[in-house]
Amino acid sequence: MGKPVLLTVDDDPGVSRSVARDLRRRYGEEFRIVRADSPVDALEALRELKLRGDVVAAMLADYRMPRMNGIEFLEQAMDLFPRARRALLTAYADTDAAIQAINLVDVDHYLLKPWDPPEEKLYPVVDALIETWRATGDSAVEETKVIGHRWSAPSFAARDFLARNAVPYRYYSVDEPEGERLLEAAGKTADDVPVVITPDCVCLCKPSNTEIAAAVGLSTNPAAEFYDLVVVGAGPAGLGAAVYGASEGLRTVLVERQATGGQAGQSSRIENYLGFPDGVSGAQLTDRARRQARKFGAETLSAREVTRLEVRGSARVVHFGDGTEIAAHSVVLATGVSYRTLDAPGVAELTGSGVYYGSAVTEAPACAGQDVYIVGGANSAGQAAVFFSRHAKRVVLLIRGSSLEASMSHYLIQQLEAIENVSVRTHTEVAEAHGEQHLERLTLRSGGESETVGAGYLFVFIGAAPRTDWLDGVLVRDERGFVRTGPDLIRGESRPPGWTLDREPYFMESSVPGVFVAGDVRAESVKRVASAVGEGAMAVTLVHRYLGEQ
């Protein structure tokens, strides 16, 4: 990110160089002096500065220029940088035009040419421009910028991807002036959103997660073709496996489809994790684990969809959706689970526009004054209710059962009972979601009776569906899709189909030797963050044992 800019434009190269020279002599240490020889070049430079997130403190434009005079230039420049201060360079004969410009386009000053000596005629005017600009509080935007529609699912997806990958960004709606300015600078319209603009001026229109990841500096391509260990999934179990694998000298690569942290990374507050008596957010825990894995040398690939697992001799090959692959001596599958979709009319159409799966913390500020409904009775739903209660007018938990005791930790139940704007509706389910561009109402069904209520947001936390269809025919899974491991694979005297070794599978080993499973995706696992981290570490211990046999 550069210094604030002082821009000068004059079609006379000699005058242009002289202005720039005098400005640089006085202001060069604190400001960047940008010189243009035509209004067209100056506007192009301003567009690039806008996309980069730089700020323009002041603009000095010559009045008499071909094709576009200084007043016309400043009118267009104001659309990009309305807070920049403006001055006209003019000859004595054009003084009346300069005075008129002050009234027409809010020009702050005019300067008569020649301005020698600058200490008397130029610098006092520029000092006044800078002082006025500083009073506006204008500042550079160093973050990635996202321009989108408030109720656009693709716009939400772009923001959510950046937030969950800890990439700083600033969001602008197409309905606000700065959003319009950024679109104009990028040569885009409201029909092109979401538009993502990186600090180094890369502009993406309706990008995929993979395109965003590559543009903002997240690693998407492996540095090697073969590793000791490939960890698929970067939730708590995958992060645990990556930390322990890399710290113990294994060439380790961690592959994530969407964002590190998994469902745990979306949690607003985890209060029963060992060593954090005051609680820790899922994002904080994830960020620490990600940095820890990187410290030990683990490589991370973001936005990579794994589509197939292949056994190729002693190698275990992981295939990606784009047709590429990587291979390793061993694999730890830690793909976790996803929330089940809510099967009710209108929900699918409004997903991303008022209906969200998981906590979607990026939406919290917009919940102010709104009625928020949360479907689910487990800890993730309770944590979300506590979090959104700080923003929303009212939070209502909807559960099918008779109470929260069977599915939620006692400490969370106590917290919810103490929050005045949180209530629980038992024996209740969502029958239908209503709204045009975004969620506006919900039809709730309870005890055979239906009721329609106003609702600004619906967050869904139901069930646990493993994403394991891509393992069909390769690994043994149970009837719900969870991967069987170790003793769970043994049936009497028989061993799992295709098992080629004399020994039985290790405790966390799948039906393919050298492929281990950790965390929620493993059949019969304990669905808790602490146990997932522990399983990731334990899987690495078994990986070492397996590699010692080779």
Q: If you compute the radius of gyration of the chain from its CA atoms, what whole number of angstroms results?
A: 30
Distance linking the first and last C-alpha atoms of the chain: 51
Judged against a pLDDT cut of 80, whether residue 149 lies above it is answered with yes
CA angle at 310 for the pair 306 and 313, rounded to the nearest 5° = 145
Same fold for the pair 226-338+465-549 and 347-460: yes
Question: In this predicted structure, which of 72-81, 338-347, 359-368 has the lowest mean pLDDT?
Answer: 359-368
Looking at residue 492, what is its pLDDT? 60
Q: Which CATH number fits domain 144-215: 3.40.30.10, 3.40.50.720, 3.20.19.10, 3.40.1370.10?
A: 3.40.30.10
pLDDT tens digits, one per residue of 525-542? 988 899 999 999 999 999
Architecture of domain 347-460: 3-Layer(bba) Sandwich (3.50)
Q: Which residue has the tokens 């209530």?
A: 423
Distance, CA of 64 to CA of 37 (rounded, Å) = 12
Strand partners, 517: 333
Residue 38 near residue 62 (C-beta atoms within 8 A): no
Q: Which helix (H) or strand (E) holds 333?
A: strand 325-333
Percent of the chain topping pLDDT 90: 72
Q: Which CATH superfamily is domain 5-135 in?
A: Response regulator (3.40.50.2300)
Query: What is residue 495's predicted lDDT score, i.e. its pLDDT?
Result: 78
Could you report the per-residue pLDDT of 421-450, keeping only the tens digit for each? Answer: 999 999 999 999 999 989 999 999 998 899
Helix (H) / strand (E) element for 491: namely none
Predicted local confidence at residue 105, as pLDDT: 66
Least confident of 247-256, 383-392, 487-496: 487-496
For the structural domain made of 226-338+465-549, what CATH number should be given? 3.50.50.60
Instruction: Give the Cα-Cα-Cα angle 297, 510, 315 (nearest 5 degrees).
Output: 55
Q: Which two tokens stand for residue 400?
A: 């099918």
Q: Residue holding tokens 């702050």?
A: 108
Kindly list the domain boundaries of the chain, sorted by start residue: 5-135, 144-215, 226-338+465-549, 347-460
H or E segment to which residue 105 belongs: none
- Give the model's pLDDT for residue 493: 59
Q: Residue 179: which residues within 8 A CB-CB, separation 6 or more?
A: 147, 172, 173
pTM for this prediction: 0.81
